Amino acid sequence: MHTAQRQDPASDPVRSTPADTPTSATRIPPAHPAPQPPTGPVALESRAIWSAIVCGLVGAVVGYLVFSGYRPPLSGPHSVGNVAAVSTAVAAGLSCLVGFLLTARTTHRWLIQRHWAWMVVDATGLVVVHAAIAIMAGLTLFRLFQESFVGLTVDRIAGTVMVTLITAVAGYLGFTSASRITTRSLSSLLAVFMAAGMLVSMLLAENPFWWHAFFSELGTGQAGSWSFWTFNTTLAVSGLVLTTLARFITQDLYPWARAREAAGGRTVRMGVLRWGLFVIGLCMAVVGLVPVNVSDPIHSNAVRLLGAVFILMLLTLPIWLPGFPGAFYAATGLMVLVGVGAALLWFPLGYYNLTGFELAMAGIVYAWLVVFIRSLDAVVSQAAADAGEPEGSAQFPTTAGP
């Protein structure tokens, strides 16, 4: 008869490192504050409402002070629309910042595991995106109202009420968007921002024949100053947000890749995806920050590098990202063929000019991102269901990169 010896839990490698205990690769550095438990939906909704109330009160004060002594029109110079656009931009941006800092401490704790500079980049991109969308939405809304009610002016009280309402809505939506951000919502936000920014820059172009040259003509100043700033800001900020999206994508893929490798599947090289999207985002930011009229070599080489990295990623997709549905790989191959066809239609066939080719390639990139994000969401959801754990519960290992 043997007497069972009691083993010290600290000496048992299995018991001393449970599945939910961070290892040295995933432990949050001591310099960072301890992560808080995820905020529930009721608490998030309450904070979003408080954000709307605070922003609405600030908007009311701004409107009451600005509209003193005259009757502003709905759109145009010194109008309700202009004041509302600025107020909504500030409200959406600040509310987004608060919501993002909250989700970094709770739901997406991996955000605070990196160097603080990456947090600044992520927060800056998201704040500018939310503020820009709020400005474009506010100006468009009041322009439509002015076109519907030609010649209408409002008094101080009515103008204040309008600014109050739209500022409160911006505060609510900005906080909600950032505090509940996911890979899918971030990709949708990026697509809306880029599409709206490009359309607005085209509409603001003072030269109606800008498209006779190339798409980057909008960013040279030849098409007008408003078009110049809108186009280049959209590209630069979109590049920053794309680097953030790359980190969200790899965070979502991590539990699926870990389970796949544990089952004996081929290794998923998420670093290729993360760094590939990071380089694409960086090139996009350079294209916006350095217009073609400032430095043609830098601008053109950034565009070429962007295209080369994107095409290389698509061609080698089955190698570094195995395990996705076959339909996704088929769609990717089809988009590569469509891109080649679009290039041939530009040169040597001459069916359309360079602007047409650039628009076609932008559409292909958007289409692939939509298919990729939806396939990613399906794969991650299936992996989480098979493992019996909620999505995003796994910690992403801390790295020095983006």
Nearest 5 degrees, angle CA 137-CA 139-CA 145?
A: 100
Count of C-beta atoms within a 10 Å radius of residue 306: 20
Query: Between these two residues, 354 and 146, which has the higher pLDDT value?
Result: 146
What confidence score (pLDDT) does residue 85 get? 95
Residues 359 and 395 in one domain: yes
Q: Give the closest residue to 253 by CA, choosing from 378, 151, 150, 354.
A: 378
Residues 122 and 258 in one domain: no
Q: Which helix (H) or strand (E) holds 95?
A: helix 80-105
186 CB-side CA count, 13 A? 27
Sign (positive/negative) of CA torsion 222, 308, 285, 174? positive
Residues 173 and 208 in one domain: no
Residue 255 CB contacts under 8 Å (≥ 6 apart), including other chains: 380, 383, 384, 387, 389, 391, 392, 393, 394
What confidence score (pLDDT) does residue 14 get? 39
Which phi and psi (to 5°) does residue 70 adopt? -155, 165
Residues 140 and 250 in one domain: no
What confidence score (pLDDT) does residue 392 get? 47
Residue 195 lies in a domain: no
Give residue 292's pLDDT band: very low, low, confident or very high (50, 70, 90).
confident
User: The domain containing residue 145 runs over which residues?
Assistant: 39-181
Residues 95 and 239 in one domain: no
Residue 1 lies in a domain: no
Q: What is the pLDDT of residues 81-107, one digit of tens each?
A: 999 999 999 999 999 999 999 999 888
Beta-bridge partner residues of 153: 73
What percentage of residues in the chain have a pLDDT greater than 90? 46
What confidence score (pLDDT) does residue 303 get? 86
What confidence score (pLDDT) does residue 36 get? 53
Residues 251 and 148 in one domain: no
Q: Is it the case that residue 46 has pLDDT exceeding 50?
A: yes
Give residue 259's pLDDT band: very low, low, confident or very high (50, 70, 90).
confident
Residue 80 lies in a domain: yes
Query: Between these two residues, 295 and 15, which has the higher pLDDT value?
Result: 295
Q: Is it the case that residue 34 has pLDDT exceeding 70?
A: no
Residue 29 lies in a domain: no
Q: What is the pLDDT of residues 154-197, one digit of tens each?
A: 999 999 999 999 999 999 999 999 999 999 899 999 989 998 99
Buried b (16+ CB within 10 A) or exposed e, 18-45: eeeeeeeebebeeeeeebeebbeeeebe
Residues 145 and 241 in one domain: no
Residue 338 CB contacts under 8 Å (≥ 6 apart), including other chains: 364
Buried b (16+ CB within 10 A) or exposed e, 82-95: bbbbbbbbbbbbbb
Residues 170 and 67 in one domain: yes
3-state secondary structure 205-248: CCCCCHHHCCHHHHHCCCCCHHHHHHHHHHHHHHHHHHHHHHHH
What confidence score (pLDDT) does residue 362 get? 85
Residues 105 and 135 in one domain: yes
Residue 249 lies in a domain: yes
User: What total of structural domains would you count in the chain?
Assistant: 2
- Tell me how far apart the alpha carbons of residues 191 and 198 are, in angstroms, rounded to a whole number: 11
**Residue written as tokens 């003193």?**
68
Cβ atoms 336, 315 nearer than 8 A = yes
Which of 181, 210, 241 delimits the end of a domain? 181
Nearest 5 degrees, angle CA 85-CA 118-CA 244?
A: 65
Which of 150, 181, 212 delimits the end of a domain? 181
* Class of residue 319 by CB neighbours under 10 A (exposed 0-12, middle 13-18, buried 19+): exposed
**What is the residue-averaged pLDDT of the chain?**
85
What confidence score (pLDDT) does residue 296 get? 85
What DSSP designation does 155 have? -
Residues 229 and 300 in one domain: yes
Residues 56 and 119 in one domain: yes
Residue 232 lies in a domain: yes
Residue 320 lies in a domain: yes
Task: Give rounded-to-5 percent helix, strand, coil for the chain.
Answer: 70, 0, 30
Residue 350 lies in a domain: yes
Cβ atoms 277, 245 nearer than 8 A = yes
Which of 181, 213, 237 delimits the end of a domain? 181
- Tell me how far apart the alpha carbons of residues 70 and 91 are, in angstroms, rounded to a whole number: 25
Residues 159 and 226 in one domain: no
What confidence score (pLDDT) does residue 89 get? 96
Q: Reduced to 3 states, what is the DSSP secondary structure of residue 153?
A: strand
What confidence score (pLDDT) does residue 3 get? 46
